[in-house]
Structure 1
Amino acid sequence: MALARATVSLIPPHAWLRLRPFSIPRRLPLSSSSPPRSLLAARVVAMAGSSTAAAHRHTNRLASEHSPYLLQHAHNPVDWYPWGDEAFDQARKRDVPIFLSIGYSTCHWCHVMEVESFENEEIAKMLNEWFVSIKVDREERPDVDKVYMTYVQALYGGGGWPLSVFLSTNLKPLMGGTYFPPDDKYGRPGFKTVLRRVKEAWDTKQEMLEKGGSFAIEQLSEALSATASSHRLSDELAQNSLKSCVKQLGNSYDPKFGGFGSAPKFPRPVEVYLMLYASKKLMETGRESEANNAMQMVCHTLQCMARGGIHDHVGGGFHRYSVDECWHVPHFEKMLYDQGQLANVYLDTFAIKRDTFYSSVARDILDYLKRDMIGESGEIYSAEDADSAEYEGSPRKKEGAFYVWTSKEIEEILGDYATLFKDHYYVKSSGNCDLSSMSDPHNEFKGKNVLIERKDISSMASKLGMSVDEYSQILGLCRQKLFNARSRRPRPHLDDKVIVSWNGLAISSFARASKILKAEVKETKFYFPVVGYNPSTYLEVAEKAAFFIKSRLYDKPARRLQRSFRNGPSKAPGFLDDYAFLISGLLDLYECGGGTDWLSWAIDLQATQDELFLDGEGGGYFNTPGEDPSVLLRVKEDHDGAEPSGNSVSAMNLIRLSSMVAGARSENYRSTAEHLLAVFESRLKDQSMAVPLMCSAADMLSVPSRKQVVLVGDKTSAEFNDMATAVFASYDPNRTVIQIDTSNTEDMEFWESQNQNIFQMAKSSPVDKLAVAHVCQNFVCSPPVSSPDALSTLLDKTYVATSSA
């Protein structure tokens, strides 16, 4: 969401009701003046146990839902409804306001508010008598979440989950906030106080409240209804937005610990993507010093993240964010959308630097997903919780319990190697969460250690007179032993919901890894938790995940997606992000060796996306189909945050598709992308740092001619695979790869119908060669080459841009 547009002058008549909530935006760590997490976690007493006990006394409508988050509340004494007509009708019938609570299953503060308030009989009675209470999983219904999060952010300048909003019977917001404690404390209103005040206001000033809610929605709708003043950005603005974003990110760069901005530090892969894109462009235009500076920021950031505690050194993958500036103590939740994007930027950096440090981290992420996050049918799950029980049968859950270690535990598990391991990962008997005042302000991890590498492997190995290989092997064996010991601990809750958009991000990284990792030297060694799979294995994972979505979440006759799957498809339709992210993943899947059926499906999905979400007159895509009257706002999302925006990804998809097909369809893709970017002209000009991926797309569109690499031959041959490896061994975001097997009828029929030039190129390729490559750019195609070395030489030729960077 564009906060610049959302932060409107929103002063409705009911402004006096604006009660400031406890602000826990995006699950950020508490300040030293806030109650420590340990006190609140103590109240999250046996969420499993207390819920089981409550099940004998209370069961509400959520028991019949599929969402893990809704099921967590199925035995609250609160008479919860899922979002839908039954709840709305009941509110109108009783003439009472709606209390809407939005969260997700791995949200720490959502758990806290459940135990403190929604398990509280007194509060439940107030909710049941005075309100109709609705519970929403934000990951299942991002459209509903977007409406009321936008309202809360506009009113208070920030938001987060749990999101708590009071609505009129016509679903207009009356008052909102995030987390509320049950009672007044710390100078802030408790949830009981809020309930009483809203009840009193409804009884005495209902008409004014309803007018205020309508006024708020009208203002937000007007503020968010962006349209393009023209149908195309100027090339100058497109290129200047890229420059501006690079400059702003550079100004916010942390030279000591890497990353852009200060603590708490969230991985934001779109920032890294932009810096890699800009670095290549600067290098191509002879600005080597600036290119190297951008590249250095990326490398330092990715190294610090991988060596920090935000990285799960024992099991692989990355946690959600670090509470401190040094990437050390994380919020221990793991999200699928982070893993897919991070794997991709580590893969890109490997393709540029050819340093297996980066390829090993990419493998680490993908191997974690493959080991722990993939179902029997290839579906990729959503998230793992931050909280877990400290030991089997414990009545208490605590954040990070699954991941932290005492020095004594490590000594008992590792024996003779304990000292080496402890020195390497900064393990201390007193605990190691002391690198920053922000790491553990309430001493919740006293005596506990979050593994972090403070010195590089080569210097540590040299200190002990070992080779790097010998030292790395010992560390890998130690991590394996700790992994086995950790596996006996109670695991964090797994959200096994399958979300289309997040699977699209993961499909992209698995597909790209299958080709990019083939550039690793053959003698590369891998150490646990990296498995060392043949890269082709990752392509199989990508295809299996894509097939799951196509078979379980796609209505082929209607050409429509559903949002998510758990014990069956969700009731929610696919949203813009689902289409855009999946299309992006399918394009990567095709380019990296998948069949034309994936590309054909991407084209079909793009047609449906245009039908459901495209603003044909104003330009750009809405985030929702606009078919559900209960969703009061249609937003054109542009902010590239922890997840990229659907519009940014769509712009790139359209550019890529336009370089694959020909004729009117190609021109339509390009003009749609131009119109889309024009919608966000002021954002690109004035707030480029908020939209790094869109800046990259805008610059991509200004490139006169996208490079096409057409590989023709026998896809099953070693020669063809060697040529494909040569293509993906280099980093080039302005490149389209097309693979055609002339003996495959589907391939030839597809290209004959979609792009006659490519079809003729394939048809006229030498028949005595198992693989040939055609490289086309600036409207000229090179003579075909038939060896990987010749292809690499051709691709390495510096492209001189026609306009300055």
Structure 2
Amino acid sequence: MPNRLAQATSPYLLQHADNPVDWWPWEPQAFEEARRRDVPVLLSVGYSACHWCHVMAHESFEDEATAAYLNEHFVSVKVDREERPDVDAVYMEAVQAATGQGGWPMTVFLTPDAEPFYFGTYYPPEPRHGMPSFGQVLQGAHQAWAERRDEVTDVAGKIVRDLAGREISYGDAQAPGEAELGQALLGLTREYDPQRGGFGGAPKFPPSMVVEFLLRHHARTGAEGALQMARDTCERMARGGIYDQLGGGFARYSVDREWVVPHFEKMLYDNALLCRVYAHLWRATGSELARRVALETADFMVRELRTAEGGFASALDADSDDGTGRHVEGAYYVWTPARLTEVLGADDAALAAQYFGVTEEGTFEHGSSVLQLPQQEGVFEAERIASIRERLLAARDGRPAPGRDDKVVAAWNGLAVAALAETGAYFERPDLVEAAVAAADLLVRLHLDDHGRLFRTSKDGRAGAHAGVLEDYADVAEGFLALASVTGEGVWLDFAGLLLDHVLTRFADDSGSLYDTAADAEQLIRRPQDPTDNATPSGWSAAAGALLSYAAHTGSEPHRTAAERALGVVKALGPRVPRFIGWGLAAAEALLDGPREVAVVGPSPDDGATRGLHRTALLGTAPGAVVAVGTEGSDEFPLLADRPLVNGAPAAYVCRNFTCDAPTTDPERLRASLNS
């Protein structure tokens, strides 16, 4: 019989709806039940594409004896971290503070007042590798609660007090200048892996936000070292196994330093961020590889993540059926020489094995290989390789596909809107711009309430119950701002302003510091607040960037001031931990560059010369430049006010730091002014 999770909108919670565990969702009634029964709460946090979450569920939460013990001695609460990032952030901070590490599944034992007293991540069904079994952990937590209650509550109270003392206040600091950005670049150079690209050792995550900073820093200063790190990292990733060489799109991370073996889950946010980064790399260098990867990644998102309602699903699982009924990580993606021969025949299989790096020994498990791309593509016959790739992709499409987490997350869809809008504009793919518009329409129609407040998620055309957090408001505003620049439709600027007004009134304090949850949101044991990037840009940095762009579009002093105050944290953290505040560093580059404001006016939206100036403006590399386009006298954008045609011809106006260049009708002059 299904448990309470059967009514959830989260695919991850629905995966546990038939567990014998008597799960509760995160709600006040669960903690009231714990008080009534005088038992502790087991909080289990994960997400749909998490491999070890599935493993622990199968080993423990589907086990009748384990479930019976849980049901007798605990109130069990299951949380989807992607649906409730606030809950996840608060307790992950406690886990990391207590153990020095974190991850998912996250396992936390709480008092009925939601105060944590014992922490962990994955626990096996029997002791192994120095870890206790899950059963032993449950027995220990139950005995501590029953026999040493005072000690447990003292520990929990101390943890909560310690978390309360971690509040961040950088809102009164100045935004970073040349010195801090130079120190950040130097820090990245020290951590850079010159042989393999990327930063640090294994596991290696795509450094999307850092690459965006490097591209902007090069555009503003001409620092060739910044461009080289960005270019080489992107090339190594694109040629590695972390990139799907057949279907496009990136896996979550590489388990090795060489980008060979991925953790195979594919996340919307990674692909949205990387699609945009590769498009920006092409814009800066003209790299054909960057162009291809940007377009293939955009096509992957539209083909495999787009929902029936026009939004984008959250993720594809790492695991899939291997054809024998077993769920195996990477089964959908890997190849052996024998499988190549089955699909291609002996001659083409031998060529494919050489081209994609498929060996008898394999690069993954059980002699299978993850496809990679050679450094010297030019020595292979392009038409034959294209035919091989097409046949392999068709054969792979016949395999059991990975599961899809089809909830729509507002923040990640905002990132996808920005990526698809810009990629479509750069490469003259109106279908990608249309996909961006459809996703933006869904966010307005389904995720925005009548007061301009965002719901975090939706599924199957139904909005979830949970309030949006700071990253939702900031990333959706970012997407709307990019869409406004690409489409010339000022309504997207208006919607961005609506969201950013909520940032100012509900997420900021008097000093200008930002919180991840609104002042009127559900009160947890601590109001979460984190300015550092994780898998996605921090809400703090994303808000700073969006506020800055909106101020450039509108001239709004409150938004500009809020952006500058928010960037005070980058002045403090950028020189020390640049890998973890890349989006904030990118926003700081835009601030130092102006950002530049570009207005393109023409006689009609369909005028060819106007379109040429507009495209040139969008392709400018000036960090954070904002672009408005419209007809003479249009009130779509504030930047168009008092901008006439020049001698009857379409013209572009470029302003920076309250100073404007002479208008130009020449795309080459406009290009020069935006690429210096």
Q: TM-score range by the shorter chain?
A: over 0.9
Cα distance, 1:421 vs structure 2:
1.6
Runs (5+) with no aligned partner, structure 1? 1-57, 284-290, 434-439, 462-470, 519-534, 799-805
Native 8 Å contact 1:562 1:570 kept in 2: yes
Is 1:421 the counterpart of 2:421 in the alignment? no
The 5-angstrom pairing of residues 424-463 of structure 1 reads 424-428=355-359, 430-433=360-363, 445-458=365-378, 460-461=379-380
Match of 2:284 among 352, 367, 370: 352
Match of 1:782 among 655, 658, 661: 661
Cα distance, 1:683 vs structure 2:
2.3
* Alignment-mate amino acid for residue 79 of structure 2: V
Match of 1:401 among 308, 318, 331: 331
Match of 1:605 among 484, 499, 506: 499
Cα distance, 1:681 vs structure 2:
4.4
Match of 1:270 among 209, 221, 224: 209
Cα distance, 1:219 vs structure 2:
1.0
Residue matched to 2:169: 227
The 5-angstrom pairing of residues 763-782 of structure 1 reads 764-766=644-646, 768-769=648-649, 771-782=650-661
Native 8 Å contact 1:140 1:564 kept in 2: yes
Is 1:198 the counterpart of 2:141 in the alignment? yes
Native 8 Å contact 1:171 1:630 kept in 2: no
Match of 2:340 among 392, 401, 410: 410
The 5-angstrom pairing of residues 597-636 of structure 1 reads 597-615=491-509, 617-636=510-529
Is 1:736 the counterpart of 2:626 in the alignment? yes
Q: Report the 3-state secondary structure (helix = DSSP H, G, I; strand = E; otherwise coil) of the residue aligned with 2:372.
A: coil
Task: Give the whole-Å Cα distance in 2 for the aligned partners of 1:328 and 1:457.
Answer: 18
Native 8 Å contact 1:239 1:699 kept in 2: no
Residue matched to 2:564: 674
Is 1:571 the counterpart of 2:465 in the alignment? yes
Residue matched to 1:168: 111
Cα distance, 1:379 vs structure 2:
0.7
Native 8 Å contact 1:245 1:692 kept in 2: no
Change (3 A) 1:629 1:506: closer
Native 8 Å contact 1:618 1:679 kept in 2: no
Structure number with larger C-alpha Rg: 1
The 5-angstrom pairing of residues 146-295 of structure 1 reads 146-223=89-166, 225-228=167-170, 231-233=172-174, 237-283=176-222, 291-295=223-227
* Alignment-mate amino acid for residue 345 of structure 1: V
Task: Give the whole-Å Cα distance in 1 for the aligned partners of 2:614 and 2:248.
Answer: 29
Q: Report the 3-state secondary structure (helix = DSSP H, G, I; strand = E; otherwise coil) of the residue aligned with 2:260.
A: coil
Cα distance, 1:698 vs structure 2:
3.0
Task: Give the whole-Å Cα distance in 2 for the aligned partners of 1:135 and 1:85.
Answer: 13
Task: Give the whole-Å Cα distance in 2 for the aligned partners of 1:637 and 1:655.
Answer: 20
Residue matched to 2:78: 135
Residue matched to 2:273: 341
The 5-angstrom pairing of residues 368-383 of structure 1 reads 368-383=300-315
* Alignment-mate amino acid for residue 439 of structure 2: A
Residues 508-552 of structure 1: per-residue CA shift (max 9 Å, x gap): 11111122224xxxxxxxxxxxxxxxx222111110100011111
Q: TM-score w.r.t. structure 1 length? A: 0.81
Residue matched to 2:236: 304
Residues 126-165 of structure 1: per-residue CA shift (max 9 Å, x gap): 1000000010100001111111101000101110000000
| 449-458 vs 142-151, which moves further | 449-458
Task: Give the whole-Å Cα distance in 2 for the aligned partners of 1:184 and 1:683.
Answer: 40
Residues 469-514 of structure 1: per-residue CA shift (max 9 Å, x gap): xx22322221111111111111111000100000011111111112
* Alignment-mate amino acid for residue 274 of structure 1: F
Task: Give the whole-Å Cα distance in 2 for the aligned partners of 1:154 and 1:384.
Answer: 31
Is 1:386 the counterpart of 2:279 in the alignment? no
Q: TM-score w.r.t. structure 2 length? A: 0.96
Cα distance, 1:385 vs structure 2:
0.2
The 5-angstrom pairing of residues 578-589 of structure 1 reads 578-589=472-483
Task: Give the whole-Å Cα distance in 1 for the aligned partners of 2:189 and 2:302.
Answer: 35
Residue matched to 1:367: 299
Q: Report the 3-state secondary structure (helix = DSSP H, G, I; strand = E; otherwise coil) of the residue aligned with 1:484.
A: helix
Native 8 Å contact 1:424 1:455 kept in 2: no
Is 1:492 the counterpart of 2:381 in the alignment? no
Is 1:512 the counterpart of 2:438 in the alignment? no
Native 8 Å contact 1:226 1:618 kept in 2: no
Task: Give the whole-Å Cα distance in 2 for the aligned partners of 1:633 and 1:730.
Answer: 43
Q: Report the 3-state secondary structure (helix = DSSP H, G, I; strand = E; otherwise coil) of the residue aligned with 1:313.
A: coil
Task: Give the whole-Å Cα distance in 2 for the aligned partners of 1:192 and 1:349.
Answer: 51
Residue matched to 1:44: none
Change (3 A) 1:650 1:630: closer
Match of 2:455 among 545, 562, 572: 562
Runs (5+) with no aligned partner, structure 2? none
Residue matched to 1:593: 487
* Alignment-mate amino acid for residue 238 of structure 1: G
Native 8 Å contact 1:268 1:641 kept in 2: no
Task: Give the whole-Å Cα distance in 2 for the aligned partners of 1:795 and 1:322.
Answer: 36
Task: Give the whole-Å Cα distance in 2 for the aligned partners of 1:630 and 1:95.
Answer: 22
Cα distance, 1:679 vs structure 2:
4.7
The 5-angstrom pairing of residues 23-62 of structure 1 reads 58-62=1-5
Task: Give the whole-Å Cα distance in 1 for the aligned partners of 2:179 and 2:120.
Answer: 38
Cα distance, 1:215 vs structure 2:
1.8
Task: Give the whole-Å Cα distance in 2 for the aligned partners of 1:630 and 1:791.
Answer: 51
Task: Give the whole-Å Cα distance in 2 for the aligned partners of 1:326 and 1:603.
Answer: 43
Change (3 A) 1:575 1:695: same
- The count of aligned residue pairs is 673
Match of 1:482 among 387, 392, 396: 392
Change (3 A) 1:780 1:126: same
Residue matched to 1:436: none
Native 8 Å contact 1:553 1:564 kept in 2: yes
Cα distance, 1:407 vs structure 2:
0.8
Change (3 A) 1:708 1:482: same
| 251-260 vs 361-370, which moves further | 251-260
Residues 602-630 of structure 1: per-residue CA shift (max 9 Å, x gap): 00111122222111x23221001143445
Q: Report the 3-state secondary structure (helix = DSSP H, G, I; strand = E; otherwise coil) of the residue aligned with 1:490.
A: coil
Native 8 Å contact 1:318 1:339 kept in 2: yes
Task: Give the whole-Å Cα distance in 1 for the aligned partners of 2:257 and 2:507.
Answer: 39
Residue matched to 1:503: 413
Cα distance, 1:119 vs structure 2:
1.0
Cα distance, 1:105 vs structure 2:
0.7
Change (3 A) 1:166 1:122: same
Change (3 A) 1:766 1:278: closer
Native 8 Å contact 1:231 1:674 kept in 2: no
Q: Report the 3-state secondary structure (helix = DSSP H, G, I; strand = E; otherwise coil) of the residue aligned with 1:760.
A: coil
Task: Give the whole-Å Cα distance in 2 for the aligned partners of 1:481 and 1:732.
Answer: 42
Residues 377-419 of structure 1: per-residue CA shift (max 9 Å, x gap): 211111000001111xx33100000101121111121224222
Native 8 Å contact 1:508 1:584 kept in 2: yes
Cα distance, 1:64 vs structure 2:
1.5
